[in-house]
Chain A
Amino acid sequence: MSASRPVLEVTGLSKQFGGIVAVDGVSFEVREGEILGIIGPNGSGKSTLFNCILGQLQPSAGTVRLDGDEVTGLRPCDLNRRGVSRTFQLLQVFPELTVRENLILAGQEHQGTMLSRLFGRRDAGLGAAADRMIAFFRLQHLAQEKAGGLSYGQQKLLDAAMAFMAGPRLVLLDEPAGGVNLTMLANLRERLRAINAEEGATFVIIEHNMEFVMALCTRILVLAEGRVIAEGPPDVIRRDPKVIEAYLGH
């Protein structure tokens, strides 16, 4: 895998909020088919980093490249249509839409034009794809339920499923395991691994659940106070004194 070309290249990315430097010159790359984990103590700049990469926030400095093209500061919807998908730390499903409609929505903007969507099929031709995704995440019995009525763990699965609906090349997951029970967690981990293996999708995952990260990721980046303090495979990171210091030293 290490020989494959980078999908995402982040160079010297910084973000300041007034006098606070939330992200301070972070550089890394993600290669095709890789599962990169980003860990770090609370407030180390992980989510801000995501938001800068994904256009939710404008970075103060630095560049983001996707497949070699600069995409720094593109709007989230434009990035998403270029195959970059994400989930949020807090739950983000559309409670008034059914599970199936949530998934159709997640894919519909990736095809045709505004006009063709208006006059095209009601399900935007994505009904079958949505049903496959529902089956893949084992949500069949909930397909016609409004997403707002699902349990937290079920919504979390739907949230992840939505990120995969458009067949993205790169998915950034912000704490996918947060607040999910053990059975659901195993299901999620297994699903993510299957998509990575079958579709060759590339993942970047922010996560506090060490067990989840260590089991899933091929490489881990450690952030502390907005800077990268360590990078390497899980078993090296686990023993790195700097990482232990960052987590326990304060």
Chain B
Amino acid sequence: MSARKLLAFAAAAIALAVLLVAPFYLRPYGIYILSLWAVTSIAAIGLNLTLGYAGQISLAQAAFVGIGAYIAALMTTNGLPFYAAYVAAGLACFAVGWLLGYPALRVQHHYLAFVTLAFTTLAFLVFRNEEWLTGGIYGITNIPRPSVFGWPMRRAINFYFFCLAHLALVAAATWWLIRSPWGRAFVALRENPVRALSLGVDTRRYTLMAFAIGAGLGGISGALYAPLVQFIDPTPFSLYLSFNLLLMVVVGGAGYFAGPLVGAVVAVLLPEWLRFTEGYYLIGYAILVIVLMIFSPTGLLGLADRLTRPQSKPVGGTVDPVAAEKEAVS
């Protein structure tokens, strides 16, 4: 148990060191890709709450990222401070998620997937057709990057650390959430909603909260995406992004805390590394994902979990009941 914890801790420390050091050795494009990874991870963390913890398949995450991005773009290009836009994007998406979830969560599983698919399509059409607001296919240009305490984030490397800090913040808040009684209720309603309901867990309210919080994180991700690319149009917020985010959560390991971070590496960085194969990279990528899903439906972290787990021992037999009793009393 402790050896596994140590291993997980070491992996996290190495990953963090790479994230802190790598940008100093990368060209701007590499830094951009790393920033994109951080921003995408936030949206994937949100979807992991909805899918991995509350067990609901949502294809609406792209719409929330889009709504967040457009809110941030519109507000900051009109001279409003970035953090006002950031908070507004998060809150607006939370509210929209709540309003969408209220009727939509009456259906579950693939029916919910269809409802959320329709919502993403609807949002995409609004981004494209409501030119007076969104600029239509011409999009919104010259989205400014913020300054933090007078420090301009215009340089790629500065903005990368800005995104990384926000990812750390979101990750810490999510960690705190899933270790709260809410997190316990989320796991319960994923594992056995009928039993959870009979134990007083208001499954409808908890599912709605998981969905709305996931949506809010999508909005925050969008609010960071807009100043990262500095130009937005409807294209990146199509259904393709929803599927891609779903893929990240599932490939990384749904319900694992670090799942979306690992999944985002696969979805954002792997295509870049496979670029040398030119036209074949999508084929290679697809085959890799198929093979992974066949051998480890619980994703990469599920695979790591299985490989490092000590051989299953008969529970109870090897534990000293007296010592355990002492521990329970103290």
Contact = CB atoms under 8 A, between A and B. Distances in A.
Contact of A88 (B180, B195, B325, B328): B195
A181 to B, nearest CB: 14
In the complex, which range does the number of interface residues on chain A fall in?
A: 35 or more
Interface in B140-193: 177, 179-182, 184-185, 187-188, 191-192
B329 interface: yes
Interface stretch (A136-144, A190-198, A213-221): A136-144
Contacts of A54: 198
B57 to A, nearest CB: 19
Interface in A99-115: 101, 104-106, 108-110, 114
A124 interface: yes
A104 B201 CA distance: 12
A94 B191 contact: yes
A141 B316 contact: yes
Interface stretch (A18-26, A63-71, A72-80, A204-212): A72-80
Interface string A134-156: 11000011110100011100100
A131 B328 contact: yes
Nearest to B177: A118
A105 to B, nearest CB: 5
B315 A110 contact: no
Contacts of A35: none
A56 B184 contact: no
B187 A97 contact: yes
A135 B195 contact: no
Contacts of A224: none
A96 interface: yes
B42 to A, nearest CB: 20
B181 A120 contact: yes
Contacts of B215: none
B324 interface: yes
Contacts of B316: 141-142, 145, 150-151, 154
B324 A141 contact: yes
A117 interface: yes
B190 to A, nearest CB: 8
Nearest to B325: A140
A204 B197 CA distance: 19
B185 to A, nearest CB: 7
Interface string A159-177: 0001000100000000000
Most chain A CB within 10 A, of B179, B184, B319, B329, is at: B184
A118 B324 contact: no
A134 B188 CA distance: 19
Interface string B314-330: 01100111001101110
A34 B201 CA distance: 27
B8 interface: no
A80 B203 CA distance: 13
A145 B315 contact: yes
A95 B187 CA distance: 10
B197 A75 contact: yes
A135 to B, nearest CB: 6
A16 interface: no
B272 interface: no
A250 interface: no
A131 B324 CA distance: 11
A92 B200 contact: no
A239 interface: no
A92 B201 contact: no
B194 interface: yes
Contacts of B320: 141
A165 to B, nearest CB: 8
A131 B202 CA distance: 25
Given A94-B192, A97-B184, A142-B315, 16 more contacts: A54-B198, A95-B191, A97-B188, A101-B184, A105-B188, A108-B184, A109-B202, A114-B205, A117-B182, A141-B319, A141-B325, A142-B319, A143-B327, A143-B328, A145-B315, A149-B315
Interface of A: 54, 56, 75-77, 80-81, 85-86, 88, 92-97, 101, 104-106, 108-110, 114, 117-120, 122, 124, 131, 134-135, 140-143, 145, 149-151, 154, 162, 166
15 contacts: A54-B198, A75-B202, A81-B200, A88-B195, A88-B198, A94-B191, A97-B188, A97-B191, A105-B196, A117-B182, A119-B180, A141-B316, A143-B324, A143-B328, A166-B200
Interface of B: 177, 179-182, 184-185, 187-188, 191-192, 194-203, 205, 209, 312, 315-316, 319-321, 324-325, 327-329
Top 4 closest pairs, chain A to chain B, by CB: A109-B200, A141-B324, A80-B200, A92-B195
